[in-house]
Amino acid sequence: MAAEQKLMSVRRDWRERDVRVVLAALVIAVATVATIALFASQLQRTLVTSASSFLAADRQLEAENGRPIPDAWLQEATARGLETGQMVEFSTMVFGGGGFQLVSVKAVSNEYPLRGEIEIQSGPDSPRELVKAGPQPGEVWINPRLLRLLELEIGDSLEVGNLQLTVSGLLIREPDGGFRLSALAPRVMMHKDDVPATGVVQEGSRVEYVYLFAGEESALEGYYEWLRPQLEPSHEWEGVRDGETFSRSLQRAERFLLLGGSLAVLLAAVAVAVASRQYALSQRDTVALLKTLGLNGAGIGRLYLRRLLLWGITGVVGGLVVAIPLFWLLASMLSDVLERPVDIYLDPAALTPALLTALVSLFAFAYPPIRRLRNVPAMRVLRSQPGESGREAWPDMLVAIVAIFGLVWLYAGELALVVSLLGGLVLLLLALGLLGWGLVTVLRRVRGGGNAWRLALVGLYRHRNASLSQIAVFAMTLMLAATLVLVRTSLLNDWQAQLPDDAPNHFLINIAPETVDEVAGFWDEQGQPLEELYPMVRGRLTELNGQPVKEAVSKDERIGALNRELNLTWMESLPEDNEIIEGQWFADGEQNGVSVEAELAGRLGLQLGDELTFTIGSEKVTEVVTSIRTVQWDSMKPNFYMAFPPGGGLEGLPATWITSFYLPPEKKTALNAFSRQFPTVSVLEIDHIISRIQEIVQQVTRAIEAILALILAAALVVMAAVVSATLRDRQREGALLRTLGGRQSLLVRSTMLEFAVLGGFAGLLGVVAAEAAVYALQFRMFEGTFNWHWQVIIPIPLISAVVLSLFGRWQLRPVLSVSPMLLLRRLE
């Protein structure tokens, strides 16, 4: 109907303060949720791509039995639309320059790498460059240390077995270098087609064939399904590796973003709810008039429903207009620090949560009070009718809360998060109930008078319903904002603690037992002492309680640890960052038992007392599980799935030692002297990986801060919504007080006090509820430890009191600046 349309126009609605708050809340909600979801999806892609580049492919198939896989397997992969590539890895002696050296050779096919890039230098002083293919046939790339060890120069020839190859580049980094400790000797990279001519690889040689696969996820899955029944125990199918520090950092960031997004959803919903309830109240006169003029209930319903839709569209469009450039900015910030930037892609699916948020906010929170408008009696045009008691709103509130937490669950996919936040809110409401009871029983005794304090307390008592609901909303807002700030702080602290500036950035592997003391002495002299040294024995877990382990464990579990050799160790005392969660650490002198890492124990279903049999070379070692412990995989120190006591099951088996240490960039040259002195010790340089992680963490931190700012803006909108809800009443009261002879200073003082008390309570409740939520979250989502955050518990209530009392003073402005008469008339 034309009249209904006439009543609907965003431009006209915009003139109303409450509508502005609803629209602002919607725009911020959509903007925040959309930005976060888009960024999180970008982060996810970054994560997968970066993790894939650690494999140089999406999947790897390793054949550790020294035999290539059947050609049919590769043909099948090609038929399924997958890209494939091949590598052969073996150790051999090479000759060149003035000497010979044991090296670890990696021979690659033309396709290598399918994912990621190889970093090389064309000479010791040339810039580093990224290339997408390995050396050509007849050429070889070598580790810079090998260049120095053999005193070679670029262009010299290097003899690998029977073949002379030309050194054409320095190999700085392979995309699939990762943290793997198998690279024991300096690396040499050559072309796979040259391998036969070397004559090194023969039947029975220790050779590992590795096959690379890349393509659509579904094709990869399908191929694995096809392949799995044909795999032998020595075949290892590897997907994106977990346990990488890099992925872990990003995963936490992603979780934080999800938490932020969820809080934004909640805050926006609160803002929309408060503002639209206020809007509905202000529309009662209009509805009564429209009814008087003959618009029926259905017409009223249609009118406001369409208006809601219009707001929804405006909110979504406005939100996206803000979100998309912001996402672009954040994503390019992230992209700048990635060595292999991921294309910025606006994932339409990531917009769904934002649209759902707008929809749920509108229909679960805004619609109910507006729907009740049709019940406004027409008689209201003649005489004011009792308004809503608030009781009608309870069932709606319940539905809305369920809807919004359902949305958060759907969005974050973390029940723990929903429960933590909901728990915090319930706690807050309980405290609020107590406070309300206190307000009624204690403040009832206070009688008014000339004193500002008493006036303030009487004010609180008289407006107890409004005061309580204001405290509720302020406290809720503060709780959500404080939760986010606290989690952010602990997240950043965790990252910093995890990767301090002097985090170990080099591993020493393959240290012979008799040189351990010398090696430690060498680095002590350099002023770079080593971390703890551990013995390492490589072995496979083959039996569980006397049964072959692959039968004992459910087939659905793909456990990489079972497919490859594990690093086993023995140690006297538990490393500082490990923690026993079940059983007991070895007693002094104890020689039996084995301690198992918790995650692996969980996946294998291991219990204390289970019998594990390891095959080490030709030996079998059987021990009983005596403890289960957690390990900090991202500590940059040697970590072990299985630890034995000194003199225990590993006694007498050949071991080499491993350790890590920090080497500052300016002392890198010491590695040359070290390599010359200890040619058999391998040095694994991970300094570039660490600095990359640190840079990424920094960028993600910036992104998180930008999003935090957005969310705090949402919190401000909520505050504005609440304040605007009571503005007129407060002004009218102030005007009346002045009319009745109240001095301005009294009015100012009592109002400021009233708001200060209100703000103080809200702050206190909010902080306590936030602590409760953070306590829960910390355990379930961020694996951190909980501490009381005195740095927020004390200042937040104070700041909230001061800010609100200034807010109260600001609200009074019109009351103080014009004559009471004029004001009363204006407010009529």
Region binding other proteins by CB under 8 A among candidate stretches 381-389, 449-457, 479-487, 502-510: 381-389
Residue 305 is a binding residue for other proteins (CB under 8 A): no
Determine the residue type at 654.
P
Min separation Cβ 294 and other proteins, Å: 2
Min separation Cβ 828 and other proteins, Å: 8
Region binding other proteins by CB under 8 A among candidate stretches 97-105, 375-383, 462-470, 598-606: 375-383
Min separation Cβ 15 and other proteins, Å: 6
Residue 383 is a binding residue for other proteins (CB under 8 A): yes
Q: Closer to other proteins at the Cβ: 383 or 445?
A: 383
Distance CA 248, CA 670 (A): 31
Cβ atoms of 548 and 542 closer than 8 Å: yes
Min separation Cβ 300 and other proteins, Å: 9
Q: Closer to other proteins at the Cβ: 289 or 824?
A: 289
Q: Closer to other proteins at the Cβ: 59 or 291?
A: 291
Q: Kindly state the number of chain residues that form the binding site for other proteins, as judged by CB under 8 A.
A: 28
Candidates 310, 355, 381, 736: give the one binding other proteins (CB under 8 A): 381
Candidates 126, 205, 230, 296: give the one binding other proteins (CB under 8 A): 296
Q: How far from 101 is each of 143, 385, 443, 628, 642, CA to CA, in Å?
A: 12, 97, 88, 41, 33
Exposure on the CB side of residue 172, measured as CA atoms within 13 A: 18
Closest by CA position to 778, among listed 479, 416, 418, 425: 416
- State the virtual CA torsion across 467, 381, 394, 370 in degrees, nearest 10: -100
Distance CA 568, CA 642 (A): 5
User: Which stretches within 64-130 are classed as H helix?
Assistant: 71-79
Q: Determine the 3-state secondary structure of 143 from DSSP.
A: coil
Min separation Cβ 736 and other proteins, Å: 20
Min separation Cβ 378 and other proteins, Å: 4
Distance CA 194, CA 363 (A): 68
Q: Closer to other proteins at the Cβ: 306 or 688?
A: 306
Residue 492 is a binding residue for other proteins (CB under 8 A): no
SS3 of the chain: helix, strand, coil, percent, to 5:
55, 15, 25
Q: What angle do CA 691, 341, 698 make, to 5 degrees?
A: 40
Residue 294 is a binding residue for other proteins (CB under 8 A): yes
Q: Closer to other proteins at the Cβ: 295 or 686?
A: 295
Cβ atoms of 245 and 47 closer than 8 Å: no
Residue 3 is a binding residue for other proteins (CB under 8 A): yes
Binding characters for other proteins, 678-717, by CB under 8 A (x = yes): ----------------------------------------
Min separation Cβ 395 and other proteins, Å: 23
Residue 389 is a binding residue for other proteins (CB under 8 A): no
Cβ atoms of 788 and 771 closer than 8 Å: yes
Min separation Cβ 13 and other proteins, Å: 8
Residue 822 is a binding residue for other proteins (CB under 8 A): no
Q: Closer to other proteins at the Cβ: 3 or 415?
A: 3
The two tokens of residue 426 are: 């319930």
Determine the residue type at 586.
F
Region binding other proteins by CB under 8 A among candidate stretches 63-71, 294-302, 350-358, 496-504: 294-302
Residue 622 is a binding residue for other proteins (CB under 8 A): no
Cβ atoms of 664 and 469 closer than 8 Å: no
Candidates 20, 291, 463, 538: give the one binding other proteins (CB under 8 A): 291
Residues 191-210 interacting with other proteins (rule: CB under 8 A) = none
Q: Closer to other proteins at the Cβ: 222 or 301?
A: 301
Region binding other proteins by CB under 8 A among candidate stretches 374-382, 522-530, 600-608, 691-699: 374-382
Binding characters for other proteins, 63-82, by CB under 8 A (x = yes): --------------------
Structural element, H or E, at residue 103: strand 99-108
The two tokens of residue 218 are: 């579904």
Candidates 298, 349, 587, 740: give the one binding other proteins (CB under 8 A): 298
Min separation Cβ 305 and other proteins, Å: 17
Residue 827 is a binding residue for other proteins (CB under 8 A): no
Residue 451 is a binding residue for other proteins (CB under 8 A): no
Residue 297 is a binding residue for other proteins (CB under 8 A): yes
Min separation Cβ 6 and other proteins, Å: 6
Candidates 293, 410, 624, 821: give the one binding other proteins (CB under 8 A): 293
Q: Closer to other proteins at the Cβ: 13 or 194?
A: 13
Q: How many residues does the chain have?
A: 828
Residues 6 or more apart from 514 whose CB is under 8 A from it? Answer: none
Residues 578-597 interacting with other proteins (rule: CB under 8 A) = none
Residue 289 is a binding residue for other proteins (CB under 8 A): yes
**66: number of Cβ within 10 Å:** 16
Q: Closer to other proteins at the Cβ: 14 or 226?
A: 14
Residues 7-46 interacting with other proteins (rule: CB under 8 A) = 7, 12-13, 15-16
Q: What angle do CA 214, 219, 222 make, to 5 degrees?
A: 125
Q: How far does CA 419 lie from the centroid of its chain?
A: 18
Exposure on the CB side of residue 464, measured as CA atoms within 13 A: 17
Distance CA 89, CA 162 (A): 17
Min separation Cβ 22 and other proteins, Å: 15
Distance CA 21, CA 276 (A): 8
Cβ atoms of 76 and 176 closer than 8 Å: no
Region binding other proteins by CB under 8 A among candidate stretches 59-67, 93-101, 377-385, 681-689: 377-385
Residue 285 is a binding residue for other proteins (CB under 8 A): yes
Structural element, H or E, at residue 723: helix 687-739
Q: Closer to other proteins at the Cβ: 14 or 810?
A: 14
Residues 6 or more apart from 43 whose CB is under 8 A from it? Answer: 250, 253, 254, 257, 334, 700
Q: Pairing relation of β-strands 534-544 and 118-121?
A: unpaired
For the chain, the maximum distance between any two Cα atoms, rounded to a whole number of angstroms, is 109
Q: Pairing relation of β-strands 83-96 and 207-214?
A: antiparallel
Residue 821 is a binding residue for other proteins (CB under 8 A): no
DSSP states along 223-236: HHHHHGGG--TTEE
The two tokens of residue 782 are: 């961020």
Min separation Cβ 377 and other proteins, Å: 7
Residue 426 is a binding residue for other proteins (CB under 8 A): no
Distance CA 508, CA 530 (A): 9
Min separation Cβ 724 and other proteins, Å: 17
Candidates 79, 317, 382, 818: give the one binding other proteins (CB under 8 A): 382
The two tokens of residue 810 are: 């600001």
Min separation Cβ 278 and other proteins, Å: 16
Which residues form the interface with other proteins (CB under 8 A)?
1-3, 6-7, 12-13, 15-16, 285-286, 289-299, 377-379, 381-383
